[in-house]
């Protein structure tokens, strides 16, 4: 179980500072949640993660179901002991991966829409199925991307897997709808997501905190309806999922339609969003938690986030630059190594280059959100 308390509400916006207590420790919100898809932060062994200031991690139900399987994780005593992470953990429901394997893969898109001209669909009508899987009212049939085996995940299966994984916070199974879906498709999908939310509640037998997920794409009426419905089901917290429109302004609108309809004393998690320049915007709208692969993904491409903006340490201008990566950063990488050395590691394709920059970027994101928490306390955000 969890306990959540808002300790300060900004006088300037919906932003708030909160304390979220779980069986594995306390989280100060708003908090950034690093993504540990395969029960691992890519390039960073678990024993290094705590020093980045990370308060909780989110692992991926779908991937862990495929490999190593929830039974193996349960035999290890659950995800906490399997990966040796003593602090709070979340697992997502697998809904987003369904979306990625289906229309997402067909259309080569993520959560923010792109130009329609190269896509196989102009509009996705009710009844249309993606090429890689079949969505029914009970769940989703698909082939394992690892070995081609026929698999099925529905709300009950998702909860059963997440119970064996044993994270502190788990999510209801939902359909993350594709961009360019017709309004009729979206309405039908939302009915299904809402029915699945209740089924997930019915299937839960553990003490884990199950968050309901608000969907409804970028349509105001559907978002409002979904927020009201999911709020009425008495979940201990909420996820906000799905497509958020074409621009940052659209994302802002979706949050403005959603957040006021969710109980103010429960935590709200925005799924899969959190570029550095999004953080202030979503926190201002009242988001308490968000997960995002940006710091880790960019690190592996040589991109470091600094107080002076992003830099690509592979560039030739850093070959002889013996200054620190970011003078304002207190992390061990910035206290120890020069840009020249990091540049060399990347150019020499040393795996420690990924580890070093992943560590710094996570530290940077966590320090950035800590500053935002301070600004909220000062009513400056």
User: At closest approach, how far in Å is the CB of 306 from Zn ion?
Assistant: 8
Stretch that binds Zn ion, among 61-69, 86-94, 151-159, 330-338 (CB under 5 A): 330-338
Q: Catalytic: 277?
A: no
Regarding 329 and contact with Zn ion (CB under 5 A), the answer is: yes
- Whichever of 289 and 313 has its CB closer to Zn ion, that residue is 313
Q: Which of 334, 357, 362, 367 binds Zn ion (CB under 5 A)?
A: 334
User: At closest approach, how far in Å is the CB of 372 from Zn ion?
Assistant: 18
Q: Which of 92, 174, 278, 288 is catalytic?
A: 92
Q: Which of 44, 331, 356, 381 binds Zn ion (CB under 5 A)?
A: 331
Regarding 200 and contact with Zn ion (CB under 5 A), the answer is: no
Q: Which of 111, 285, 360, 373 binds Zn ion (CB under 5 A)?
A: 360
Regarding 219 and contact with Zn ion (CB under 5 A), the answer is: no
- Whichever of 219 and 334 has its CB closer to Zn ion, that residue is 334
Query: How many chain residues touch Zn ion (CB under 5 A)?
Result: 5
- Whichever of 74 and 370 has its CB closer to Zn ion, that residue is 370
- Whichever of 44 and 334 has its CB closer to Zn ion, that residue is 334
- Whichever of 315 and 330 has its CB closer to Zn ion, that residue is 330
Regarding 367 and contact with Zn ion (CB under 5 A), the answer is: no
User: At closest approach, how far in Å is the CB of 360 from Zn ion?
Assistant: 4
DSSP string over 191-230: HHHHHHHHHHHHH--SS-EEEEEE--TT-HHHHHHHHHHH
User: At closest approach, how far in Å is the CB of 56 from Zn ion?
Assistant: 21
For the sheet with 133-135, list strands across it: 133-135, 140-143, 150-153
Q: Which of 278, 288, 291, 326 is catalytic?
A: 291
User: At closest approach, how far in Å is the CB of 296 from Zn ion?
Assistant: 14
- Whichever of 131 and 307 has its CB closer to Zn ion, that residue is 307
Q: Catalytic: 147?
A: no
Stretch that binds Zn ion, among 174-182, 230-238, 245-253, 333-341 (CB under 5 A): 333-341
Residues in the site for Zn ion, rule: CB under 5 A? 329, 331, 333-334, 360
Residues forming the active site: 92, 291
């Amino acid at each position: 179980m969890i306990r959540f308390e808002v300790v300060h509400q900004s006088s300037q916006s919906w932003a708030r500072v909160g304390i979220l207590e779980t069986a594995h420790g306390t989280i100060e919100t708003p908090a950034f949640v690093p993504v540990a898809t395969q029960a691992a932060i890519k390039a960073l062994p678990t024993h290094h993660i705590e020093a980045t200031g990370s308060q909780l991690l989110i692992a991926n139900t779908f991937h862990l179901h495929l490999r190593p399987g929830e039974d193996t994780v349960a035999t290890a005593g659950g995800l906490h002991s399997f990966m040796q992470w003593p602090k709070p953990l979340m697992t997502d429901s697998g809904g987003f991966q369904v979306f990625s394997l289906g229309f997402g893969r067909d259309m080569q898109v993520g959560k923010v829409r792109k130009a329609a001209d190269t896509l196989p669909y102009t509009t996705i009508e009710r009844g249309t199925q993606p090429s890689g899987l079949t969505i029914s009212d009970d769940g989703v049939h698909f082939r394992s991307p690892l070995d081609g085996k026929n698999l099925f995940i529905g709300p009950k299966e998702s909860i059963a897997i997440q119970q064996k994984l044993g994270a502190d916070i788990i999510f209801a199974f939902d359909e993350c709808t594709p961009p360019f879906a017709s309004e009729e498709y979206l309405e039908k999908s939302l009915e299904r997501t809402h029915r699945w939310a209740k089924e997930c509640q019915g299937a839960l037998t553990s003490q884990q905190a199950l968050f309901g997920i608000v969907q409804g794409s970028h349509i105001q009426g559907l978002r409002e309806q979904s927020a009201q419905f999911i709020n009425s089901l008495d979940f201990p917290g909420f996820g906000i999922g799905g497509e958020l429109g074409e621009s940052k302004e659209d994302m802002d609108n979706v949050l403005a339609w959603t957040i006021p309809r969710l109980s103010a004393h429960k935590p709200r998690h925005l799924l899969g969003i959190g570029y550095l320049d999004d953080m202030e915007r979503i926190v201002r709208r009242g988001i308490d938690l968000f997960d995002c692969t940006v710091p880790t993904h960019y690190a592996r491409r040589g991109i470091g986030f600094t107080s002076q903006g992003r830099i690509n340490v592979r560039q030739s201008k850093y070959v002889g630059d013996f200054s620190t990566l970011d003078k304002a950063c207190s992390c061990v990488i910035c206290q120890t190594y020069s840009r020249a050395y990091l540049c060399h590691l990347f150019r020499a394709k040393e795996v420690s280059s990924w580890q070093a920059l992943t560590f710094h970027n996570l530290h940077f994101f966590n320090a950035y959100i800590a500053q935002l928490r301070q600004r909220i306390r000062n009513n400056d955000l």
